[in-house]
Amino acid sequence: MTYGEVAKMAGSPKAARAVGNIMSHNWNKSIPCHRVVKADGTTGGYNRGSAKKIKLLKSEGVNI
- Residues across the chain: 64
Nearest to 53 by CA among 41, 62, 45: 45
64 has pLDDT over 90: no
Catalytically active residues, by annotation: 33
Compute the distance between CA of residue 32 and CA of residue 35 in angstroms, rounded to an integer.
6
Confirm whether pTM is higher than 0.95: no
Q: Which fold has domain 3-59?
A: Arc Repressor Mutant, subunit A (1.10.10)
**In this predicted model, what pLDDT tens digit does every residue of 3-61 receive, in sequence order?**
999 999 999 999 999 999 999 999 998 999 999 999 998 999 999 999 999 999 999 99
pLDDT at 29: 87
Q: What local confidence, expressed as pLDDT, does residue 12 receive? A: 98
What CA–CA distance (Å, rounded) separates 54 from 35? 10
